[in-house]
Amino acid sequence: MSLGCVIGTFAGLGLQTILVGLLGALLVIWCFGSRKQTTSNLPPGPTGLPLLGYLPFLKLPPFKGFTHLTKQYGGLISLRLGTKLCVVLNDVDSVRQSLIKEADVFTDRNVPIEYSLALPLEGSLAFASGDKWRELRTFVAKSFRLFEVEKEKLESVIVRESERLCKAFHEEAVESSSGGDAFDPHHIIKNAVSNIICSLCFGQTYEYSDPEFKHILTVVGNSFRSLSPSGLLLVSRYFYYTPLYREVRHDLAVLQDFIRGIVQRHQETFDPDNTRDIIDMYLAEVRQLKEDGKETYLKEENIWRGVFDIFLAASESMTSALRWILLYLIAYPELQRKIRADILRVIGPSRNPTIKDRDELPLVEATCMEVLRLRPPAPMGGPRQVKRDVKVKGYVIPEGTLVLTNLWHIHQNAENWQDPERFNPSRFLNEDGKELVKNPAFLPYGAGRRLCIGDRIARMQMFLFLTTLIRRFEFSLPDGDVPDFNVDGGNFTLSAVPFKIIAREVESNMAPTAVHTQIED
């Protein structure tokens, strides 16, 4: 049949007929796909509608919706999100029985549909599975350790960036106090955080005034907010090509071009005798393996994809964590003062903090832990996909099932924590407050073999940034403002809603100076 005949045939049909036909085709696809995953012993959970599954009834944000379902179905639930079968782990026992005890079955990633359509999977660290993932993760872990001990110590990089951050706060504070207007530190914080991973991956940092990099960081935030386990793409991935996802497509293309450009410049200037960063290390590793004739999944053309994942994840999650920490310290000024007194006692007014100081500042660590408990950067962890049929707690989880970990509920479940909704860093300290106390329900970086590869770096950043900032500034809210702990959006990442603060610069052991500034976040 010619193209003209096909067009003529469709032109002769009414819109209603076409829509009914498409709906019928989707229904057939749903029924066929559902039959493949049908089992009589799934974990308990709610029923849904054809094509849509439980999506129309799921309370938002999703992690709170899943929490609501635990009241009826317990800690291990199953439901359909669109046409996709999903199992949600809502308690520590479910996590232990699956991600840890059956780790091999649960190490594969479920790739968000937006990423699967916009980006190649080859070379991805976050979404690779099997041997490809293991080889790439081993390389990245080795590179991170090398930067910690052999290159310019990562600790020094973070301390230097902490000083830049304080300088930027000071400059904005002076300008703000003279002009009377609040300033927004969100970009400053995010730039400082991102510069750490840029040092590791790109061998360079960016000025806070750089307009191009500021745009890139904005796009990073947008790309994370677009991800959702409860969106239209779970009904049909063809929605991705509609105007509804135009901005998502644009943002991912911008980020891809940015990372590819950096990698290309590294390839053009590569010197095997002077490895500057992780990209150079990757180039050296790939070329050496090729020269030795060894089989490898590491490919030079895929370098950018792994760097893409590292850059996005590190920039967004740590920015979110630091903003929450700042907000909680503002809400609890006595705690802020006590932390500052501890810092001055241990470190003094001028010496740079070091990672070794953590042992003498358990309250700083406990405060970070308590904020991560209440506001985990990734409230549902990284999406997993079951490699084969597996039995967990007496139920069968079929091959290919999407698995989400509801860290939000685990971190705020009264079975795991006393007064779970209360902000109380002391829950992570022993009776005399000198040592940290572990709780198996504290899982901000996930669990099992796919535990966040950057957790050590994240803890270093939080400690060094926080000790530097709190020693230098006293933070509070403008008169009449109250702390807002609501979540700005919240699907795969949690962000605090914008808030304004006052930052008074502190000098040595003296009381805060009269510098009265406002910071808007």
Asked if 2 and 73 sit in the same domain, the reply is no
Q: What is the mean pLDDT of the chain?
A: 86
Report whether pLDDT(179) > 60: no
pLDDT of amino acid 211: 95
Question: For the chain, what is the domain count?
Answer: 2
On the 0-12 / 13-18 / 19+ scale of CB atoms within 10 A, 478 is middle
Residue 367 near residue 328 (C-beta atoms within 8 A): yes
pLDDT of amino acid 178: 53
- Measure the CA–CA gap between 77 and 363, rounded to whole angstroms: 37
**Region 31-50: what's the mean pLDDT?**
72
Domain span including residue 24: 1-36
Confidence category of residue 9, pLDDT binned at 50, 70, 90: very low
Measure the CA angle with vertex 307, ends 143 and 111; round to 5°.
115
- Measure the CA–CA gap between 61 and 493, rounded to whole angstroms: 11
In this structure, what CATH number is given to the domain that contains residue 465?
1.10.630.10
**Region 104-120: what's the mean pLDDT?**
91
- Of 105-109, 228-232, 359-363, 434-438, which gets the smallest average pLDDT? 228-232
Q: What is residue 86's DSSP assignment?
A: E
**Region 342-352: what's the mean pLDDT?**
94
The torsion angle over the Cα atoms of residues 219, 225, 231 and 234, rounded to 10 degrees, is 60
Asked if 243 and 335 sit in the same domain, the reply is yes
Asked if 382 and 254 sit in the same domain, the reply is yes
pLDDT of amino acid 33: 47
Report whether pLDDT(12) > 60: no
Confidence category of residue 517, pLDDT binned at 50, 70, 90: very low
Residue 519 near residue 186 (C-beta atoms within 8 A): no
- Measure the CA–CA gap between 169 and 512, rounded to whole angstroms: 15
- Nearest Cα to 278, choosing from 255, 310, 317? 310
Kind plus residue range of the DSSP H or E element containing 473: strand 473-476
Asked if 19 and 72 sit in the same domain, the reply is no
Report whether pLDDT(216) > 70: yes
Report whether pLDDT(29) > 90: no
In the chain, % of residues over pLDDT 70: 87
**Region 145-166: what's the mean pLDDT?**
86
Report whether pLDDT(519) > 60: no
pLDDT of amino acid 112: 86
SS3 labels along 240-295: HHCHHHHHHHHHHHHHHHHHHHHHHHHHHHCCCCCCCCHHHHHHHHHHHHHHHCCC
Report whether pLDDT(200) > 70: yes
**Region 195-206: what's the mean pLDDT?**
95
Asked if 4 and 84 sit in the same domain, the reply is no
| Between 368 and 16, residue with greater pLDDT | 368
- Of 147-161, 296-310, 441-455, 461-475, which gets the smallest average pLDDT? 147-161
Asked if 27 and 103 sit in the same domain, the reply is no
pLDDT of amino acid 376: 93
Asked if 28 and 44 sit in the same domain, the reply is no
Asked if 298 and 177 sit in the same domain, the reply is yes
In the chain, % of residues over pLDDT 90: 66
Tens digits of residue pLDDT in 250-270: 999 999 999 999 999 999 999
pLDDT of amino acid 368: 97
Report whether pLDDT(432) > 70: yes
What letter represents residue 468's amino acid?
A: T
Asked if 3 and 149 sit in the same domain, the reply is no
pLDDT of amino acid 149: 72
Asked if 45 and 93 sit in the same domain, the reply is yes
- Nearest Cα to 413, choosing from 91, 100, 99? 91
Tens digits of residue pLDDT in 376-401: 988 998 899 999 999 999 999 999 99
Tens digits of residue pLDDT in 60-102: 889 999 999 999 999 999 999 999 999 999 999 999 999 999 9
pLDDT of amino acid 345: 96
| Between 382 and 5, residue with greater pLDDT | 382
Paired with 475 in beta bridges are 503
**Region 476-495: what's the mean pLDDT?**
81
Asked if 260 and 298 sit in the same domain, the reply is yes
Asked if 289 and 386 sit in the same domain, the reply is yes
pLDDT of amino acid 150: 66
Tens digits of residue pLDDT in 310-343: 999 889 889 999 999 999 999 999 999 999 999 9
